[in-house]
Every structure is written in structure tokens, then in C-alpha cells.
Structure 1
Amino acid sequence: MADYLPDDAPSIEAVDIMQEEFDEPMPNANVMIPDVTIAEALDIKEQLSEIDGISSVMWLDDVMDLTVPLEMADDEMLSSYYQDDAALISITIEEEQEVAVTNEVYDLIGEEGALTGEAVTTAVSQQMAGDESMYAALLLVPIIIIILILSTNSWIEPVFFLTAIGVSILINLGTNIFLGEVSFITQSVAPILQLAVSLDYAIFLLHSFSDYRKKVDDPTTAMKLAMKRSFPAIIASASTTFFGFMALTFMEFGIGSDLGINLVKGILLSFISVIIFLPALTLMFYKWIDKTQHRQFIPDFKGVGKRVMKLRIPSLILVMLLIVPAFLAQSNTTFIYGAGEHPENTRAGQDAIATEEIFGKETPMVLLVPAEDRGTEEELVREIEALDNVSGVMSYVNVAGAAVPPEYLDESVTDQFYSDHYARITIFAETETEGDAAFSLIEEVKETADSYYDDTHLLGESVTLYDMREIVQKDNTFVNIMTVVTVALVLLITFRSLSIPVVLLITIQASVWINLAIPYFTDAPLVYIGYLLISTIQLAATVDYGILFTENYYKLRQEMTALEAIKKTIDEKLFAIFVSASILSSVGFILWITSTNPVVSSIGLLLGRGALLAFIMVVFVLPALLVIFDKVIEKTTWKANFYKGK
């Protein structure tokens, strides 16, 4: 995730400086070995250093002379490396070697040992991305086929839907080669999300084709009429989703751009596939549709509109009561900015618990300060050691001693702590990698270091997450505004109305706020990347329901009264919207169930719940708003031509 921070983020600049100045990199993983002697731990340390892809290994012998009895060692220093007959060895795993190295380390330490740290999180994420996407797809495709079979009158039609969108998904995945690389989050989410969001286009077209087949004998003529009839709905639906996802590409935090480019590319390819490939495929094999007809499994929703409209006032009152608390709650949710904790049923989750039980919480960060005089450095180290939540500090002045000139010692010792320009101080924090305590400590360390030196740099996983928080909070406001504005413009052009975009956006945005407020009321922390992406994805993906509904109402309103038009629209479009919402919701909940990655799982839960909420709002709240503001809509819509009665 740190790779997606901009180059001028303070933690990224600090990493660049340390890589330039020091040969010894910062540890990014810890190996915990229970029930070992000092000699056995040293032997394991040696074996770890021989593994390709591990660039450095650090343990107790690097910070104290092991010929001195342990009873005489500093307790605080000792407890960071060896206690209760367990050794905690710090290692640095090279970039892009995480998966191979972690597997080798597991082979070395067996089931009893534990491996934790940032590199482990990366390895787990990389390994699960492909496997879990495939698992999710294997679960999802049968569910979608069942939903489509229930919603059509042909056994073969669902195959046409999935073929048209499946082709565009494969092309989209293939064209990622031109991007060079994609995030594991994109790999896990984008293909499934593309399927769910763009399947509507194929459904719109083939449903129209099916209708015209009953009126026209020639299949080619029926397809031409179907394309003409469904094109406005498809282009409006694709445009809102396209521009909604386009907003993600403007995020300063690169994960948004990574996912946004993939989804924008996917929507474009799906649109082209449905407009060019699907009609050709259907006309070549339309006889298969005829031969595989089956009875309608779900009865028509006749009379539902009448019942729904009886609930319009209670529905509006309920939403009015919920909307303000939901808006306030969703902006006060507790957020997680990183990947979150590993589930307890995984090896990584169990290793984290085992290590914490013996050594407690220990999050390292590195402070770089000018290598001027050791007296100032010693004062700074003492002040940092006194800070709350600091379990230990490792620097030259407290390992070798401020009075010992560096030139008296071997370079292998001094090179760990000094470069030509900087002194390196490693701080061990008794905090999680993120949260109020971790972020407060980062601010305190920065403030303390800045009081001694003009040029200071702080780096580490916690510091990266701190920068992430600062950047994504700025992104959130910008992306949300851009999404709403672009979607509003598409709706304005589609309906040639000033009021319809407002009514539609209020309906969908209310469902977004209620969705994002639930974690606040259930006191469940929310992965911020999920929050940021779902704000855009839910609005862009589910506004299609509102477009389909409103477009049908608008046409009927030119032939009948508002109440009659809305009742008929509910009867005619409820099932189509339900099919679309159930597919998107299934996608979300399956991602939530199948993914062990907290970010992907969080996006899945929010998407599944968001699709259901959007469906409820479009069916119960949108009709009420359209009827109540009928006069306003008529006056603010160009050439509305609404039915006036006798």
C-alpha cells in the first residue's frame, strides 16, 4: 500500500534518504522462535541470513556482547530480543521476494515458530489475490446464472449475457500488461465488480430484443429496434458509472487511480462488447434462444405499485429521520488506514497473537537526524525513551556509549548507526501499527526531534499509515464532490432536467450515507480505502436503478397522471431493478465471505449492503419524491410534455 503514496510524502522521502545513506535496510519482519537457548537462536539467525531474499538479520548479539552474562544485561534491551526462552529475530525481506522468502522461513521455523511484520502482510495479500478471486468467481457465476435463469424465459440467454461481459473482462485483464503492474486489491475486486456493474447493459438489450421478437418476425429488424430502444438507457447507465469511476483516477493516493483506470477501462470494454459483440452473437444463435424457452418462473409484479405507493409517506418520514444522523455518523466512523489485522483463523493471524503474548506490541520506526555531535543525540534519545508507549530505543549512544568515538569500533557496528550525513535511531513502540496512540506517538517523536535538529526524517509502517491518513482524507472530499458533479451532469444531459438529477442523487446518496453510518452505530472500525472507494462505487453503480426507473416513469408520465405512471413503473421495472441489485449485492457479499484480506472483505460488505439499500431507496423513496415534486419536475424539465388530463 505504501507504494501508492505520492513521492513527496514525508515517509517516502525518508525511505529514499535512508536507502541512499545506509547499506543496512530497516527490518520489515520478525521471526519468533519459542523454547530456544542463546546458542540455538544464533544458529537459526545464521540459517536465516543464508536465505536468498533476506538482506539483513538482526538479533541480541548485534546490540550487546553475549560473552557478558545475561543477568548483567539491561532488562529493557534484553526483553526486546529474548525472554521466556523465546527469541525474536528481526529480518529484512527484499521487495518482490516476500512470497518466496516467507515460505522458506516457514519451512525453517516449522509450526512452532511465528513470522510477523509488514513483509508478511504483503506476502499474504499477494498469495491470496489470485486464489481468492478465482474462488469468488466460482461461487458467484452459478449464483448469477440462477438469478438470470429466474429472470428470463430461455435457458441459453444467461450464457449470452455472461459471454458478452466475460469477453470484456478477459480483454480488460489482458490489457493490464500495458500498465506494467496492478494492485492486489484491483486484481481481487475489479473483474468481479466489472461483471456486476455492466451486466445490466446486456440485460437491457436482450430484454428489448425479446420484446420486439413478439412484434416483429425478422430477428435482424427486432435487434435494430432493440438497440435503438435500449441505447439511451445503456449509454446513460455506462456514462454515470464511467465518470464515477473516472473520479477515482484523480486521487493523490495511487490505489484509487489503479482501481479507477481498471474499472473505467472495464466499463468501456463492456459497453463496446454489448453494443457490437452481443448483437452479432445473438443474431447468430437466436434459434438456440427459441429452442431453449422455458416457462416464466417468477410471476409478474402486477399490483405491487399500488401497495408500495400506500407506504410513500411513512417511507419519506423514515428517510428524513435517518438522513441527518447517518450523514453525521458516517463522517465520525473509526477508520483503519492500512490492511487491518489478519483473521485469527489464518497462519499470519495466529503468528501475530503468539508473538504478542510473549513480546507484547512492538512497532519499530526509524528516526534520521544529522550526524553532528553525540551529546545532542544522547539528550534526544533520553527524551524519546521517556515518551509514553516507547518500549526501547536503539542508537549508537546507548549501544556503544556517547563517550566511545565511532572510529574506535569496527565498521560493521558503526555502519548500522552512522552514515556520512545522518545518525539512525530505531524506536520501538508499544502500540498497534495505527490508531490514536500510534499516531500521537509519531507526532510526539517528530516534535521532540524537531526541537533538537532542523533536518529530521521519520519512517516505518506506522509513519507510512500516518501519511496515508493525511493524504486520503484530502482525497475523500475531492473524489466525492467530483463523482456527484459528473454523475449530475450526465443525468442533466440524459433527462434535460434540473430537478431529476437532484431527486436521483438524493435517493442514492442517502443510501450511501446510511450504509457508511452502520459501522459507527455497531462500533466496528472501517477500512478507510473501503470507505473511500464505496462512496464512489455505490453511487456510480446503483444510480443505474434510478435511471432505469425514472426513464420509464418519464415516458409514462406523458400519457397518464403522476400516480398512475409511478404505479405502472413499479409494476414494470421492480423485477428488472431487483435482478440488477441482487447480482451486485451477491458480488459484494461473496467478496466479503471469501476474502481473507481486510480491505477486499470490507469493500465487499459495503458493496453488498449498499446495493440492497439502494434498491430499497429506489423502490420506496424515489417514487414518493417523483410524485411529490411532480410539478417542480415538469417546470424544470425541457419539453416535459406531461399528461394534463381532460
Structure 2
Amino acid sequence: MKKVFSQILQHKISIVLIFTIGLVICALLKTQVKVDYDMNDYLPDSSSSTVAINLMEKEFGGGIPNARVMISNVTVPEALKYKEKLLKIDGVSDVMWLDDAINVKEPLETQDSSVVDTYYKNKNALYIVTIDADKRVKAVDAIRGLIGNDNAMTGAAVSTAVATQSTVQELAKIIKIAIPIVFFILILTTTSWVEPIIMLVSIGAAILLNEGSNLIFGTISFVTNGAGNILQLAVSLDFSVFLLHSYEEQKRQGLSAKDAMLQALNKSFGTIFSCGLTLIIGFAALVMMRFKIGPDLGLALAKGMCFSLLTVFSFYPVIMIISDKWIEKTRHRSFMPKFDLLGKVVSRIMIPLVVIFCLLIVPSYIAREKNDFYYGSSHIFSSSTQSGKDSLAIDNVFGKSNNMVLMVPKGDTATESKLNNELKKIAEISDIISFVNNAGAEIPMQYLDKDTLNKLESNHYSRMVLTVKTEYEGEIAFDTVKKIRATAEKYYPGKWYLAGESVSTYDLMDTITDDDVRVNLIAVAAIFIVILMVFKSWSIPVILVLAIETAIWINVSIPYFKGYTVFYISYLIICSVQLGATVDYAILFAHRYLEFREKYVKKKAIQKTIAVVAVPILTSGTVLTIIGYLLGYITTHGILKQIGILLGGGTLLSMAVVFFVLPGLLYLSDRLIEKTTKGVKFKHKELEE
């Protein structure tokens, strides 16, 4: 690689020009990248709920009901007028209310009270609304404009529309806060006022290249858009920090800027490249998820790491050399303390800490699997947000409720009637709007008005709209889905289609829980192989992976012990991201330990290693922690919030393990490491001071 780096440093202007052109192009391309906030869009195409939704849109020209709108203090005539106004909103394809279930011209007191209370209760009208996916934001804004803040709306379409708008604003806020904080941290950990600027410019270039090139995907998920850039900033900072510290070491030996950078590139290439490769593999493992947010985030982040490596090995060193005079003119004293004392303290307490660590391995592994999970998007907004308050207001009046739509082959009204009657026996179903239920099997279709008929009958299928008194997800909701599917299978074996948010969430649960073991095994195995190849050791990969994996298990077991529910997608993503992002610290520690172990006895090598790696690890780890917590405490999107909090806490745990536990593991495994690592020769015990 020395010849390659030499060529790069000799063609500084060309490198800057190439990057400048690429950045201008990507700045234009990033505006064309679309973001999808609907989790259900990322279900496998073969899942039964996805097949049902696609068929329903084809047969009926619209999707499933995806919003509930409540208007308070209205009479029946006023409620009917509001229904007409809702139907006129661009993007609203269907609105169902009480008049679709009963004849509202007759006294409500004479009607089935359970049906009436489903749609109209204490002068509150509840509408079941279907909003087109491509007009969600516009339609939800229009509905809010119609009903005002005093009334309420909830549902998947509403959550998606609100997330679309709020997340963009919140991410901008996070970036505005994060950049000054990162700059301040870099000021503390570098010795020039200019170096942090160059570092941020370099990382920003890699992020912009990645953002613009996301156009190859056409559309990216809200997770990728919300966390991708922030994660790339935090995890790729390692590369620049590692190279900078190596460069400073070479300059202190009296070399010129160019020679120092060439030596630094050659010396740090193995560490940086192995760290980058583990990140790429860790993120790429998400591609193996059947739930398509995983591949979406994994490919984007893996690509981002490639751009970060490309930048740190070309653009960053070139800019450093070009700016050398400015760097030297703006030198300041180091604001970081020496960490020799930390090394001595750790060397005294590391063995008891290893014992405590080992005692935590099994309980944390078991606890992580006992977490309670949310699988869908129905809980992404807390009760402190407008969406959360709206959902609570509707639930307080009408109770927990959602809608499912069942399609069966058209033509056999007798069988439809039997199916309809048996579905009514399911306790959680409070109402059914269907041809046989509302008109009766004995009434010919030509006697029904066209609008009603179009809602319930297509050329090939009959449609039943079921109102289910459950939450969108949970044990009762999922059990109801299974009951409805079993009942439909009884009368129409293999010929029925069921759709709805609960149905999609049930399929989502099946999909992403199946992904868990596969994704983690692939990530761990791949990173193990990379570390094995880099260190040419059988024992070091076991030690490093075990150390970081245990930090992950402790991190994701905390919600279980605290008693709060975790979004499964957040849990699954953080398991891969924390492994990829923080195993770098363990790799750097092990690299430097092996170097020092050839010169010093094992306890002294531990102390020297901690003193040398403390600043780069603390720099990267602090940035990753702060950015994680900023994401966690600023965004209102539940999934992104949990990713941020778990990332912040997980990084702290990984740093703690690397600084306080890994030294003990290496110390206790010293003889084993020497015997199972190719090309190393350690100081012998009898020479220990």
C-alpha cells in the first residue's frame, strides 16, 4: 500500500478536484432521494398481509382503513355532513361511519346498541378512514385543518404522516446541536484549532457522498434517513482519529508533513482497514433480514463505511498536508490528561472485574430474550405528543379498536352468510360491514346503491370490514388475527385474504423474529473471521467478540430489568450496529497490546496500552454516546428514540468493557494468545519487574 499512498500524496490537487466534483454531484442527487416512513412497506412481498393489500388495491381501487377520526359534540345530521367533507379531501379514498352499518334515519334507541356505540357515543362521532399512501401527508394535514386540534385522529396513516414531517425537523435540530458538541470534543482531544475542522470536513464529505449515492436505491427507509448519517459520523470518526494520532506520533520524530503522513498511513492502515471491514460486515449482515428495513439500512451504512475509508485514506491526508502550515500556526497545548494513572488503576482491579463480567454473561443473555416487544408502529408516539394524546382521547371514548378487511371469492352468498355469522361469534369483533350482513343474502345486488356496493363487492371478491375491539398489536390482537384466519380457512380454504394493521404487525412479528438469530450469527461469524485474518490468531477473535457481545447483551437486557417495552426493530438494529461500531475499540486495544507485549511484560503492556488508546477511544466513544442520546431525547419517533438511547448506553458499556474488562481477559489469556497467534513473541514472565 505504500506505493498507492505515495501516489495519492503526490497528486494532492487532483484528489481535491475529484472529491469536489463528486460532492457537488451528490449534493444535487441527495435532494432526489425519497424517504418511506411506513413500516408495513418493508414486509416481504410474499407475506400474506402484503399479498392481501396488493390484491385489495387492485380489486377495489383502494387500500385498507388506516385512520380513525373522532369529532366531538355533534348530532347525527352534523356527523353526516362531516363525513361528506372528509370524503372530499384529496387523498381520502373512503370514509365509513354509522350510516354504513345501520339505517340512521330510524331512532338510534331502536338499533343494536353495540353497533351504534362503535361509531357514535355520547355525541362523539368516530369515522373509519382510508387514506391513499402517496397522499398521506397532504390528506392528514387537511383532516387536521377540518377537525382542529380539539378533535382527534389516529392510525397508521396518521402516524406515518406525522413522522414524515416531525422527523425531518428533529433531525435538523440534532445536527445543529451535534456538530458544535463534536467540534468541542475534537478540540479537547487534538492539539490544533484547525485539525477538528479538517476532520469534520472530511467526514462530512464521506456522508454527503453516501447521501447522494443513496439515489441508487430510489427510496430509503425512515430508519436509514434518521440514523444513517448520524451513525456514519459517529462510527467513522474512529478512522480519522486513529490516523491523526499516528500522524502526530510520526511528526514528533521530526519527519516532514508528507513523510509523516506516508508513514502514518502505512502504520495505521491495518488497524483502520480492519475496523472499517468489521463495520462494513456488521452492517452488511442486516442485508440478511427478510424485513426490508434491515437491508435498506445495512446497504446504506456499509456503503457509507466504504466512502469513509476512501475519504480517510485519500481526501483527509491530502487536506492535512495542504493545511500543514495552518495546523502548525494554530497549535495549542493538549487539554487531555495523561492516562498512565488509569492504566495502573485498571491493572490492579482488572481480575475482580473479569469475575464480575463473567457472572453477568449468562443472566444478561437470558434477560435480553425475555424483553417485551412492540413489533409495529402503533406505539411510536408517546402520550406527550399530539398523536399520542389523540390516540388516548379516542380510546377513552370508544375503547381500543382497529379494523381488518377480509376478502373472499364472490358469488356464494350462502357461504358468505355462514362465515359472517361465525365471525360475529368472535368476542373481539364488535361490528361487520359486509353485503350479507348489511343487505342480507336474500336481497339482490341490483337493489343496493352503487356506492355501498362498490365498497363491498368487486368483480371477483366480496369484502367484509371488521371492527375489532383490541389494540393494534399484543397477545389479544394477534390471537384475534389467528381466529379470523382460522374461520376464513374453514369456509374458503386457501382462497381468502385478510389485511389490516394488526395483520401486518402479526406478519411483521413473524418476519423479524425469524431474522434475529440469522442476522446476529452472520455478523458475529463474519467479524470473527475478519479479526482472525487480521491478527492471525485463534484466541483473540474469541476474546474480542465475547467482550463486545456481552456488552451488547447487558445493554439490551436493561429494558427487561427496568420493565419497559422495546421496539423489536430497534433491538435488532442495535445488536448489529453496536457490534460493528464498538468492536473497533477492542481491535485497537488488542493491536497496541500485542505491540507493547513484545517489549514489556504483560502488566506493563496493559498499562502502556491503556495510556495510548485512551484518547482515540474516548474521542470516538464520547461522540457516539452523545449523538446516540441526542437522537434518543430529541426525536419523538419511538423507534428512532430507542435506537438512540440504546446506542448511547451501549457505547458507554462497550467502552467500559474495553477499558476495564478486556485488559483482564488479555492478561489472563496471555499464554494462550502467544501460543495461538502467529508471528508474536512476548516478554517472558521471569523478566517481569
| TM-score normalised by length of structure 1 | 0.98
Once the two structures are superposed, residues 602-629 of structure 1 have per-residue CA deviations (whole angstroms, 9 ceiling, x without a partner) of: 1101100100000111111111111111
1:121 aligns with one of 144, 159, 166: 159
Once the two structures are superposed, residues 174-231 of structure 1 have per-residue CA deviations (whole angstroms, 9 ceiling, x without a partner) of: 1122221111111110000000000111111111112211212421111111111211
1:243 aligns with one of 267, 272, 281: 281
Q: Is the 8 A contact 1:129 1:185 kept in 2?
A: no
Residue 580, structure 1, aligned to residue 620, structure 2: yes
Q: Distance in 2 between matches of 1:416 and 1:296?
A: 72
The within-5 A match list for 1:590-629 is 590-629=630-669
Instruction: Kindly report structure 1 stretches of 4+ aligned residues shifted beyond 4 Å.
Output: none
Q: Is the 8 A contact 1:133 1:187 kept in 2?
A: no
1:68 aligns with one of 106, 111, 114: 106
Deviation of the 1:403 alpha carbon: 2.6
Read off the aligned partner of 1:414 and give its amino acid letter: L
Q: Distance in 2 between matches of 1:134 and 1:230?
A: 34
Question: Is the partner of 2:134 in helix, strand or coil?
Answer: coil
**Stretch moving more, 136-145 or 394-403:** 394-403
The within-5 A match list for 1:217-296 is 217-296=255-334
- The CA RMSD measured in Å over matched residues stands at 1.4
Read off the aligned partner of 2:221 and give its amino acid letter: S
Q: Is the 8 A contact 1:369 1:424 kept in 2?
A: yes
Read off the aligned partner of 2:421 and give its amino acid letter: R
What does residue 210 of structure 1 align with?
A: 248
* 1:619–1:63 Cα change, 3 Å: same
Q: Distance in 1 between matches of 2:62 and 2:287?
A: 36
Q: Distance in 1 between matches of 2:638 and 2:248?
A: 42
Q: Distance in 1 between matches of 2:448 and 2:275?
A: 70
What does residue 14 of structure 2 align with?
A: none
Read off the aligned partner of 2:525 and give its amino acid letter: V
What does residue 573 of structure 2 align with?
A: 533
Q: Is the 8 A contact 2:380 2:639 kept in 1?
A: no
What does residue 168 of structure 1 align with?
A: 206
Question: Is the partner of 1:401 in helix, strand or coil?
Answer: coil
What does residue 382 of structure 1 align with?
A: 421
Deviation of the 1:372 alpha carbon: 4.2
What does residue 518 of structure 2 align with?
A: 478
What does residue 637 of structure 1 align with?
A: 677
Q: Distance in 2 between matches of 1:127 and 1:565?
A: 53
What does residue 87 of structure 2 align with?
A: 49
Q: Is the 8 A contact 2:64 2:499 kept in 1?
A: no
Q: Is the 8 A contact 2:407 2:497 kept in 1?
A: yes
Residue 58, structure 1, aligned to residue 102, structure 2: no
What does residue 501 of structure 1 align with?
A: 541
What does residue 408 of structure 1 align with?
A: 447
**Stretch moving more, 588-597 or 284-293:** 284-293
What does residue 361 of structure 1 align with?
A: 400
Q: Is the 8 A contact 2:167 2:636 kept in 1?
A: no
Q: Distance in 1 between matches of 2:282 and 2:64?
A: 39
1:153 aligns with one of 161, 175, 191: 191
Q: Is the 8 A contact 2:283 2:580 kept in 1?
A: yes
Residue 553, structure 1, aligned to residue 593, structure 2: yes
Residue 427, structure 1, aligned to residue 466, structure 2: yes
Residue 95, structure 1, aligned to residue 133, structure 2: yes
Question: Is the partner of 2:457 in helix, strand or coil?
Answer: coil
2:382 aligns with one of 340, 343, 347: 343
Q: Distance in 2 between matches of 1:578 and 1:413?
A: 65
Q: Distance in 2 between matches of 1:603 and 1:26?
A: 30
Q: Distance in 2 between matches of 1:421 and 1:584?
A: 55
What does residue 302 of structure 1 align with?
A: 340
Question: Is the partner of 1:311 in helix, strand or coil?
Answer: helix
Q: Distance in 2 between matches of 1:183 and 1:398?
A: 40
Deviation of the 1:511 alpha carbon: 0.3
Q: Distance in 1 between matches of 2:339 and 2:516?
A: 40
What does residue 453 of structure 1 align with?
A: 492
Q: Is the 8 A contact 2:100 2:433 kept in 1?
A: no
Q: Is the 8 A contact 1:450 1:456 kept in 2?
A: yes
Q: Is the 8 A contact 1:129 1:187 kept in 2?
A: no
Q: Distance in 2 between matches of 1:50 and 1:21?
A: 22
Question: Is the partner of 1:423 in helix, strand or coil?
Answer: strand
**Stretch moving more, 511-520 or 384-393:** 384-393
Q: Is the 8 A contact 2:189 2:336 kept in 1?
A: yes
Q: Is the 8 A contact 1:156 1:288 kept in 2?
A: yes
Read off the aligned partner of 2:513 and give its amino acid letter: Q
Q: Is the 8 A contact 1:30 1:89 kept in 2?
A: yes
Q: Is the 8 A contact 1:25 1:56 kept in 2?
A: no
What does residue 467 of structure 1 align with?
A: 507
Once the two structures are superposed, residues 128-154 of structure 1 have per-residue CA deviations (whole angstroms, 9 ceiling, x without a partner) of: 232111111111111111111111111
**Stretch moving more, 379-388 or 249-258:** 379-388
Deviation of the 1:514 alpha carbon: 0.5
Q: Is the 8 A contact 2:63 2:132 kept in 1?
A: no
Q: Is the 8 A contact 2:432 2:467 kept in 1?
A: yes
Q: Distance in 1 between matches of 2:58 and 2:322?
A: 63
Question: Is the partner of 1:234 in helix, strand or coil?
Answer: helix
Aligned residues between the structures: 646
What does residue 441 of structure 1 align with?
A: 480
Q: Distance in 1 between matches of 2:200 and 2:652?
A: 22
Deviation of the 1:305 alpha carbon: 1.4
Q: Distance in 2 between matches of 1:24 and 1:303?
A: 68
Q: Is the 8 A contact 1:24 1:416 kept in 2?
A: no
Deviation of the 1:424 alpha carbon: 1.2
Residue 522, structure 1, aligned to residue 549, structure 2: no
Deviation of the 1:412 alpha carbon: 2.5
Once the two structures are superposed, residues 372-426 of structure 1 have per-residue CA deviations (whole angstroms, 9 ceiling, x without a partner) of: 4333322322222222322222222221123323233233222322223322111
Q: Is the 8 A contact 2:53 2:63 kept in 1?
A: no
Deviation of the 1:8 alpha carbon: 0.6
Q: Distance in 2 between matches of 1:607 and 1:197?
A: 11
Once the two structures are superposed, residues 459-493 of structure 1 have per-residue CA deviations (whole angstroms, 9 ceiling, x without a partner) of: 10010011111111111111101100110111011
Question: Is the partner of 1:591 in helix, strand or coil?
Answer: helix
**Stretch moving more, 132-141 or 508-517:** 132-141
Read off the aligned partner of 2:359 and give its amino acid letter: L
Read off the aligned partner of 1:487 and give its amino acid letter: I
* 1:583–1:24 Cα change, 3 Å: closer
Q: Is the 8 A contact 1:194 1:267 kept in 2?
A: yes
Q: Distance in 1 between matches of 2:483 and 2:411?
A: 22
Unaligned segments of structure 2, at least 5 residues? 1-38
Residue 185, structure 1, aligned to residue 223, structure 2: yes
Deviation of the 1:163 alpha carbon: 0.6
Question: Is the partner of 2:400 in helix, strand or coil?
Answer: coil
Q: Distance in 2 between matches of 1:401 and 1:93?
A: 29
Deviation of the 1:24 alpha carbon: 5.2
What does residue 144 of structure 2 align with?
A: 106
Q: Distance in 2 between matches of 1:228 and 1:148?
A: 24
Q: Is the 8 A contact 2:340 2:607 kept in 1?
A: no
Question: Is the partner of 1:216 in helix, strand or coil?
Answer: coil
